[in-house]
Structure 1
Amino acid sequence: MDASNIIEKLALVPHPEGGYYRRTYQCGQVLTPRGMPCGFEQPRPVSTAILFLLRAGQYSRLHRIRQDELWHFHLGGPLRLVWIDKVGRAREVILGPDIFNGQALQFAVPGGQWFGATPAPGSGFSLVGCTVAPGFDFTDLQLARRHELERRFPLALDCVREFCPPDGPPEILPEILPNPSPNALANALPNTLPNTLAAAPQSTPSAVPINAPALDLPQHAQGEARCHEDDPLWHCKGRA
């Protein structure tokens, strides 16, 4: 299989964090801010999902969102999925088909933690799915700034420097949905592959994230980590 053919077949487009994606599912049910955890200020679909492809040598740069993100391996070679845990250490899991040799078919990255991905050595490309609830909007996405993460996480410098490019001008992120009203959002059609992908039942059993093995990445520095110093994006403003 060739990555270019898959990108064309699935109508994937470039993602701001790197790689290529297409939204394949958007739940027709909508949550209001009062029905979601504190910090969400606009209505959201209950859940959204994308297909996401990285070519060999491409990175999903370090970023974070408020929601847990469930990753599913689909096609291609294994993928390195890394994140910085609550004590400031870099962690890694390999997504891939070889479940008898430590690879995972699914893995959930906890909300609020910095994470990124790249195809494992020898992988020509990796095609995965990513599912979040409440549904994703680009207002949730915060791309890392290397100098900030270097300051905050001295125990994860190797990870930061591999998965976060040198700082440049702040990125302007696109919007999937332009500030929709609850009614408009409820009636919106998925940005879609064939409709069979978007027609999943709205009432399904809760999935339990797989506790795949997490491996320490090489550490550049020693000493206590300076952990998550929240900025205004992550402060809860409360509700009236």
Structure 2
Amino acid sequence: MNTTKPSAEEVAKALNLSGHLEGGFFRRTYQANDYAKLSTDKGERFILTSIFYMLTSQSPIGHFHLNKSDIVHYYHMGDPIRYTLIYPDGKLEQVIMGSDVTKGELLQLTVKGGIWKSSELLAGEHGYGLISEAVSPGFDYADMTLGTYELLKEKFPQHWELIERLIKQ
């Protein structure tokens, strides 16, 4: 039995991941091609899309962004990932996705559309954390807003110290 843990590079190569705009690495694994598309205010969307998403010690932050769609995140392997969520009313919540459910780590996390989120890899023995995301209506870059200093500082000044290090520069 092989107990050697794969490296971040080996996992990225095996899953054919590439760099993501918000940080980390990804690959779309599914889009609902066999179903009618949904009509949205920004055009037609697949009813569901799914991706692999991985943060690594070299790219440890998924920078703050806002999606219009609901997203269900599924933890797979590696080190835990902390999600920082800011709700439209300014409420801030942090949760950890990971495999240790006895310590409150989540295997699954749903983030409704309209909630700002960022993710960051926590220190561990692997140097990466791997999740999947299911997005409905399906993901389209036109439905995502990447957080900027100006926008988030104006919207959530009470959380600025935390937000500042989780924004793409």
Query: Do both proteins adopt the same fold according to a TM-score greater than 0.5, normalized to the shorter chain?
Result: yes
Give the counterpart letter for 1:108 in structure 2.
T
Cα offset, 1:68, TM superposition: 1.1
Q: Report the equivalent of 1:45.
A: 46
Opposite residue 49 of structure 1, the aligned amino acid is: S
Query: Take 1:158 and 1:110, find their aligned partners in 2: how far apart are those partners?
Result: 24
The letter of the residue matching 2:54 is L
Give the secondary-structure state (helix, strand or coil) at the position aligned to 1:25: strand
Query: Which contiguous aligned blocks of 4+ residues in structure 1 show a shift greater than 4 angstroms?
Result: none
Match of 1:127 among 96, 106, 130: 130
Confirm or deny that 1:29 pairs with 2:35: yes
2:85 alignment partner, one of 78, 83, 86: 83
1:42 is displaced (CA, Å) by: 1.7
Letter in 1 for 2:36: V
Equivalent residue of 1:30, what SS?
Answer: coil
Q: Give unpaired runs (5+ residues) of structure 1.
A: 167-240
Tell me what 2:74 maps to.
72
The alpha-carbon deviation at position 121 of structure 1 amounts to: 2.6
Instruction: Indicate if the aligned counterparts of 2:22 and 2:168 stay in contact, CA closer than 8 A.
Output: no
In the TM superposition, what are the counterparts of 1:52-201 in structure 2 within 5 Å?
52-56=53-57, 58-122=60-124, 124-166=127-169
1:4 is matched with which residue? 9
Q: Letter of the 2:53 partner, please give it.
A: F
SS in 2 for 1:132: strand
**Given residue 49 of structure 2, which amino acid in structure 1 is its aligned partner?**
T
Preserved contact between residue 62 and residue 118 of structure 2 (Cα < 8 Å): yes
Deviations 1:31-67 (A, max 9, x none): 241xx5xx3x322211000000000252110001101
Structure of greater Rg: 1
CA offsets 1:164-212 (integer angstroms, 9 cap, x no match): 134xxxxxxxxxxxxxxxxxxxxxxxxxxxxxxxxxxxxxxxxxxxxxx
Cα distance in 1 for partners of 2:163, 2:16 equals: 31
Q: Is the 8 A contact 2:73 2:110 kept in 1?
A: yes
Q: Please give the secondary structure, in 2, of the residue aligned with 1:115.
A: strand
Q: 1:165 to 1:26 in 2, by over 3 A?
A: closer
Greater per-residue strand proportion: 2
**Alpha-carbon distance, 1:125 to partner:** 0.7
Q: Report the aligned-residue RMSD.
A: 1.4
TM-score (structure 2 length as normaliser)? 0.89
Q: Secondary structure at the match of 1:88?
A: coil
Query: Counterpart of 2:99 in 1: which secondary structure?
Result: coil
Alignment partner, residue 3 of structure 2: none
Structure 1 Cα separation of the partners of residues 35 and 147 of structure 2: 31
Q: Which amino acid aligns with 2:15?
A: L
- Following the alignment from structure 1 to structure 2, what is the Cα–Cα distance between the partners of residues 30 and 23? 19
C-alpha separation between the residues in 2 aligned to 1:32 and 1:102?
36
